[in-house]
Amino acid sequence: MMPSVIDPKGWFPWVGASAPNTIFYPEFANYGAGVVTKDRVIWKGLKFIAAKQASKFSVIPFIQGDKWLKDTDMSYKSGL
C-alpha cells in the first residue's frame, strides 16, 4: 500500500543525463492514496506492468527464493 505521503511524481527526476537508458522502473498493482499516477515523472524506463510480466520479478523466478528463503525466518509468497 502506498500512503498519501508518497510524492505523486513517484521519484525525483534525474538531473542531466545521469539516468541510463537501460533502467526499468515497473509499477504493478499499487493501491492506496499515494498511487495517483497523473503527475508521475516521465522516464523511458517507467512502465505500468500486468501480472504476467510482474510474475517474473516474484520471489522464486527473480531471486530463486525457494532455494534459500526457507532456511531463514523470512516469510514470503511464492507468487503474486
Give yes or no: residues 44 and 58 share one domain: no
In which band, very low, low, confident or very high, does the pLDDT at 31 lie, cut at 50, 70 and 90? confident
| pLDDT at 17 (0 to 100) | 65
Task: Please enumerate in sequence order all residues whose Cβ is within 8 A of that of 21, keeping only pairs 6 or more positions apart, or say none.
Answer: 44, 45
pTM here? 0.58
Average pLDDT over residues 20-45: 79
Encode 43-54: b = buried (16+ Cβ within 10 Å), e = exposed: beebeeeeeeee
What is the domain range of residue 74?
A: 51-79
Count of domains in the chain? 2
Task: Please enumerate in sequence order all residues whose Cβ is within 8 A of that of 22, keeping only pairs 6 or more positions apart, or say none.
Answer: 45
Give yes or no: residues 32 and 62 share one domain: no
Q: pLDDT (tens digit, 9 = 90+) per residue, 35-56?
A: 887 777 777 777 889 999 998 8
Give yes or no: residues 36 and 59 share one domain: no
Q: Choose between 40 and 66: higher pLDDT.
A: 66
